[in-house]
Amino acid sequence: MTVRLFDEDAYLSEFESKVESVKEVNGRYEVILSETAFFPTQGGQNHDEGTIDGIEVLDVTIKDDIITHVLKEKVSKGSIVKGKVDFNHRFRNMQMHSGEHIFSGLAHKLYNAENVGFHLSDNSATIDLNLKLSEKDLKKLEGLVNEAIIKNIDIVATIYKNGEEKDIEYRSKKELSGDIRLVEIKDIDICACCAPHVKSTGEIQLFKITSFENYKEGVRINYLCGLRAIENYDASLESLKSISKALSVKQGEEYKGVEKLLSDDRLLKDRNTFLLKKLVENEIEKADFSKENVFILLPDFLKDFLRYAMDLAKEKSTGRIGVFCEDESHMARFLIESDSEDLRELNNVLKEKYGAKGGGKPHSIQGTVETCMRLKELF
Ligand SMILES: [Zn+2]
């Protein structure tokens, strides 16, 4: 069993230890030390980062109470090595993890909700509760977590042996046996846990739910604590500053700017549609309706107005009318209609002779065809 130095002192970042074993696996080295301050990936939380004798620690795992460090380079079995945990990374995890205890403890206390899932990595953190809480409930919990942070309550971890904990009511995701480490935050929570925590709630600084969604029978929250929450706040503020600058609105009034932009956009779209329709009308005016059958080629940017053009053209002709729009790659969209003629035979010709794709009804066919000028002979 590896001695877990972080159980005794979560703030220990440098230590010395004897190398118990080294095993090469695919060019990486799995190193077991007699004792370590590196917390392994465990309980949904990612492992500590850092170095051993200056060599980067790529992964830290645990199996049967043995902690394995995966290193880029080799160290010697039997030697004494110096471990250095990246305390900046560790402390952020301690803030995030300790914040989770308060939130889950209060959710249990107030709503009898159980924490049924926890995930903490460098880019996301989630807590799953087995109860669907409303936005209002979650807001209330967030406020109470922050009140507990202000009170700066001690966070105390105690290891209980031989069933000493049997009269204590505590939260745990599974049935436990053997030595049990209980983490207590007075009047808030008692929970079985093996991870490092901050000394007192004040060090968590801030607890913020960033989003939530219904998940299985309950709710999943995304949240941030401490330095990660402050960094997120900074990034959000920078983003809002850029928006307010780009839209020339005061800070705090960004949404007003966005609303105006959306309203201007709607107006422009309406005007654009109006003008494009005018162009279609102009094209129909120019078209040759002297023959019964009419071939009309529109510019590509009018491709969404084939129907409108057809309706206008049908006011001028009762014969076979084809409206086409060809793009730069010579692929054309078409709509062909005739109130007097069954177009199914023409559709077969279009497919077989001209390679057209599409279909329709007896008096209306539409689709795509390459180089539509070839079809002029059909009109
Ligand atoms: Zn914990």
Q: What is the CATH number of the domain that holds 221?
A: 3.30.980.10
Find the 196 Cα to ligand 1 centroid distance in Å: 7
Per the structure, the complete domain to which residue 56 belongs is given by: 3-85
Find the 82 Cα to ligand 1 centroid distance in Å: 26
pLDDT (mean) for 23-34: 97
Segment 294-350, tens digit of pLDDT: 999 999 999 999 999 999 999 999 899 999 999 999 999 999 999 989 999 999 999
Q: What's the token pair of residue 146?
A: 């922050």
Residue 25 lies in a domain: yes
Find the 116 Cα to ligand 1 centroid distance in Å: 14
Find the 200 Cα to ligand 1 centroid distance in Å: 13
Q: Please tell me whether residues 9 and 115 are part of one structural domain.
A: no
Question: 194: Cβ–Cβ under 8 A, 6 or more apart, which residues?
Answer: 4, 7, 42, 43, 181
Cβ-based burial of 97 (10 A; exposed 0-12, middle 13-18, buried ≥19):
buried
Q: Please tell me whether residues 332 and 204 are part of one structural domain.
A: no
Residue 6 banded pLDDT, cuts 50, 70, 90: very high
Find the 220 Cα to ligand 1 centroid distance in Å: 18
Find the 129 Cα to ligand 1 centroid distance in Å: 16
Residue 248 banded pLDDT, cuts 50, 70, 90: very high
Find the 198 Cα to ligand 1 centroid distance in Å: 10
Domain-ending residue, one of 39, 60, 85: 85
How far is residue 92 from each of residues 51, 55, 122, 156, 233, measured CA to CA in Å? 18, 22, 9, 18, 15
Ramachandran quadrant class, 315 (left: phi over 0; alpha: psi -120 to 50; beta: rest): alpha
**Residue for token pair 């069933």:** 163
How far is residue 287 from each of residues 280, 284, 317, 369, measured CA to CA in Å? 11, 5, 11, 21
Say what the pLDDT of residue 176 is. Answer: 72
Percentage with pLDDT > 70 across the chain? 100
Q: What are phi and psi of 192, to 5 degrees?
A: -75, 125
Find the 95 Cα to ligand 1 centroid distance in Å: 10
Say what the pLDDT of residue 190 is. Answer: 95
Q: Please tell me whether residues 60 and 95 are part of one structural domain.
A: no
Say what the pLDDT of residue 173 is. Answer: 77
Q: In what order do the strands lie in the sheet with 218-225?
A: 115-120, 125-129, 218-225, 207-215
Q: How many domains does the chain have?
A: 3
Say what the pLDDT of residue 48 is. Answer: 98
pTM (two decimals) = 0.80
Say what the pLDDT of residue 70 is. Answer: 98
Find the 130 Cα to ligand 1 centroid distance in Å: 19
Q: Please tell me whether residues 99 and 185 are part of one structural domain.
A: yes
Segment 110-134, tens digit of pLDDT: 999 999 999 999 999 999 999 999 9
Segment 173-223, tens digit of pLDDT: 777 778 899 999 999 999 999 999 999 999 999 999 999 999 999 999 999
What is the C-alpha to C-alpha distance for residues 323 and 284, in angstroms, rounded to an integer?
A: 10
Ramachandran quadrant class, 369 (left: phi over 0; alpha: psi -120 to 50; beta: rest): beta
Q: Please tell me whether residues 222 and 94 are part of one structural domain.
A: yes
CATH code of the domain containing 56:
2.40.30.130
What is the C-alpha to C-alpha distance for residues 150 and 339, in angstroms, rounded to an integer?
A: 79
